[in-house]
Amino acid sequence: MTQSEFWGLRRRWFAWGINQVMKVYEPRIAERKLQLFGGLNGRILEIGPGTGVNFKYLNPNVDWIGLEYNQYMFPYLAREADRYGIKHELVQGSAQEMPLPDNSVDYVIGTLVLCSVPNPVQVLREIERVLKPGGRYVFVEHVAAESGTLTGMIQSVVKPLWCCCADGCHPDRKSWATIETAGFAEVAIDHFKLKFPVVSPHISGYALKG
């Protein structure tokens, strides 16, 4: 097997795996996501949309673009978009270098993505660039546990294996701090926990471009 075949197989496996995991995760966050995403309209960019778990919360009239790095997610995304009747455009690429003009979208959605990208600071810079003035980045992320807690210790211990098995996902990023210091005009963040091992601490909220 060549190296590129190996990485292709790994990405295909991850697409299948995340689709299974989200069947358990999604019902636990559904109510919060509906509140966050249900009222959005206009042109929406979703970064790292995975298998399309967020379509069910969106207004069917939105104009949705998905920027996804793993092309094996595309069949899942197309199926889910069709199921919820959402006009969609799938773009393969990285959220670190978005192939979109400045000031071109009303909202950017990201769920469980800042944990996975190599450079979250660069992703936030790109989010701010592509948002129209007054546009919002709306997010849900799992984050680092408080230091000194059992969950924090477990996150440190499992991190190397976790990163490797979950396609680069870091269980212990302080993404709230990365968002707060990214230069948005206004930021609102709610910290909460979900009943899961390792990745229970979460944040959700929005960041507004001035």
Ligand X SMILES: C[S@@+](CC[C@H](N)C(=O)[O-])C[C@H]1O[C@@H](n2cnc3c(N)ncnc32)[C@H](O)[C@@H]1O
Q: Which is nearer to ligand X, 49 or 135 (by Cβ)?
A: 49
Locate the DSSP E strands across the chain: 43-47, 63-68, 87-92, 105-111, 131-142, 186-193, 201-208
The answer to whether the beta carbons of residues 135 and 209 sit under 8 Å apart is yes
Q: Which stretch binds ligand X (CB under 6 A): 31-39, 105-113, 147-155, 171-179?
A: 105-113
Examine residue 204 and tell whether it contacts ligand X (CB under 6 A).
no
Examine residue 143 and tell whether it contacts ligand X (CB under 6 A).
no
Question: Which residues in the 6-35 window bind ligand X by CB under 6 A?
Answer: 18, 22
Examine residue 130 and tell whether it contacts ligand X (CB under 6 A).
no
Q: Residue 21: enclosing H or E segment and its boundaries?
A: helix 3-37
Residue 120 CB, nearest distance to ligand X (Å)? 10
Residue 96 CB, nearest distance to ligand X (Å)? 5
| Interface pick for ligand X out of 55, 57, 69, 206 (rule CB under 6 A) | 69
Examine residue 73 and tell whether it contacts ligand X (CB under 6 A).
yes
Quote the DSSP letter at residue 62: -
Examine residue 70 and tell whether it contacts ligand X (CB under 6 A).
yes
Examine residue 53 and tell whether it contacts ligand X (CB under 6 A).
yes
Written as one letter, the residue type at 161 is L
Q: Which of 130, 114, 121, 133 is nearest to 203 (CA)?
A: 114
Locate the DSSP E strands across 10-130: 43-47, 63-68, 87-92, 105-111
Size of the residue set binding ligand X (CB under 6 A): 21
Pairing of strands 105-111, 63-68: unpaired
> Which residues bind to ligand X, rule: CB under 6 A?
18, 22, 47-50, 53, 67-70, 73, 94-96, 111-113, 116-117, 169
